[in-house]
Structure 1
């Protein structure tokens, strides 16, 4: 098993999207001279960087229900948020939208730069933490009304309870430590409950580090919850994606988390690890064949972190 890598779905190319979507793209950006299809992420829809014959650039992503029935709704949720966002160096700028009731697409500014490398370096983690801290007061001024509460996410609220019925499917470690894991996971919902806007999906592959600005992208999973949770998600990605420093080390030294007890992160990691492990044997969602293996990898990496404190 490869331990350190970005999440990776299987996207179709922009050229494989419906003609009506491609016509809309051309009508908004002009004659397209080059298309660079992107890979990775957890959507089966196309995502591509565009350059026109007039040398303007843009980024397009789209999806229809035949690829995955849930993804268009996530794109619509992201579009609603992007339309509300103020101009800010760490927020992506929305250029135009498309929605025919089935396929949803968005044109965004093209962001030069790279994803942070995984395993995370200490420097990149500090840089990502600064992005989240810089965005926190901005997000606090944006209403989270209408967004699903973090406390209702199966990842933290119910998913981990599945493991009790599936313990004999997995390595005995999960059964041996189940009682301790449950004692931590039971606290998770209370810890993440709140009313502020959260990105909720903070991972290395949802950040663009550029020469002039760093941007947090992919807002389709946004929820409302406690304001410290996005930094906690970054800490968990230390474990899930690998890092020079452990999740708990990052958590202990991140200024935005100075008032949190490290046991709070253990509670979140326990709930997520148990959910991912239990669901690693589920059938893959439509259009996302790598999801079971990704869940298994993330669960194993969180387990390595939890082993140090259980």
Structure 2
């Protein structure tokens, strides 16, 4: 499954000043814009073509309407602008700020999100891309600003702790197994938090709509505002959880053994932390501008808990 936020802004809805500023960065006016689906942001996401034939990808957000959310684009620009060349990530072209909006401009990657349900070759290609990212030398400029995964995700993976201190009556009906094992799940998620520690570059939000598969092979990992320093385990588990969420029959447990040899127990603990985050998140009030988020978190929680029971 892909994230679907709904209500995405269209190119023609953006302030003229912002569109003109993007055109100046690209060297000529935009003559065609094709909105892209997927993700949860209510901002725009367009593949654009200029009068000169130049292509780019532009995503923007109204900082006045969604205060704080526009920082995601600034953060992504900081990450992409500092990463070394040769990685399977998009090239940063510009960051534009005007009329209260922020627009991130990158290369238009010649690729599409994977067909769902996931098939094994696409999963393996994505794992190869994530391995290349994890093996990269992280520039000193990023090491000083990227959060440590075990710190940045500490609140997220403590969802079972919150369910213990703030009980949710619906849990017994939705997932009796989790309700009966909350203490043990909270302990395992704490171990998962420790297992997140590491020095590798981590994307932090791996799912189908953030992976573009090129026609000739290879995968480009896009959407980098959640980048962290941590263990490669997190991105691998997040990808394989998305594979299961899609209804695929790919053997994700075999892939864990292949891609995380000797770290399968850490992977189970990290999966527990993800289940904690999604389950606790799904019971929270709706987020303005993101009408589908809670339902998506609920679906991920269900799949994560089912997989966790199998690995228990």
Asked whether the equivalents of residues 185 and 271 of structure 1 are also in contact (C-alpha less than 8 Å), the reply is yes
Q: Deviations over 1:72-118 (max 9, x none)?
A: 11111110111112222512111111124942112111112110123
Residue from 237, 241, 246 that aligns with 1:236: 241
Structure 1 residues 28 and 245, CA gap change in structure 2 (3 angstroms): same
Which residue of structure 1 aligns with residue 56 of structure 2? 58
CA distance in structure 2 between the partners assigned to 1:287 and 1:154 by the alignment:
25
2:233·2:266 contact (CA, 8 Å) conserved in 1? Answer: no
Q: How many residues align?
A: 303
Residue 308 to residue 169, structure 1, CA distance change in 2 (3 Å): same
What is aligned with 1:150? 149
Is the Cα–Cα contact under 8 Å of residues 158 and 186 in structure 2 kept in the other structure?
Answer: no
What does residue 214 of structure 2 align with? 210
Q: What TM-score comes out, normalization by structure 2 length?
A: 0.89
Question: CA separation of 1:138/1:115 partners in 2, compared to 1, >3 Å: closer, same or farther?
Answer: same
Q: Which runs of 5+ in 2 are unaligned?
A: none
Shift of 1:126: 0.7
Residue 303 (str. 1) matches residue 301 (str. 2) = no
Give 1:50-199 correspondences, 5 Å limit. 50-88=48-86, 90-100=88-98, 102-141=100-139, 143-152=142-151, 153-154=153-154, 156-164=156-164, 165-170=166-171, 171=174, 172-199=176-203
1:28-57 per-position Cα deviation (integer Å, ceiling 9, x unaligned): 231222110112112111010111222221
**Residues of 2 paired with 1:273 and 1:228: CA distance?**
15
Structure 1 pair 274–102 and aligned structure 2 pair: CA distance change class (3 A): same
Match of 1:7 among 3, 11, 29: 3
Q: Residues 249, 180 of structure 1: CA spacing in aligned structure 2 closer, same or farther, 3 A cutoff?
A: farther
Output the CA distance in 2 between the equivalents of 1:196 and 1:126: 20
- Equivalent position of 2:45 in the other structure: 47
Name the CA distance, whole Å, in 2 between partners of 1:286 and 1:37.
Answer: 21
- In 1, are the aligned partners of 2:95 and 2:105 still within 8 Å (CA)? yes
2:204 alignment counterpart: 200
**In the alignment, which residue of structure 1 is the partner of 2:25?**
28
State TM-score, norm by structure 1: 0.90
Checking the alignment, whether the CA contact within 8 Å between 2:76 and 2:223 is kept in structure 1 is yes
Question: Does structure 1 conserve the Cα–Cα contact (< 8 Å) formed by 2:160 and 2:182?
Answer: no
1:203-253 CA distances to partner (integer Å, 9 max, x unpaired)?
111111012442110001111222443223323323344432243232112
CA distance in 1, matches of 2:50, 2:32: 7
**Aligned 8 A contact 1:61 1:106 in 2:** yes
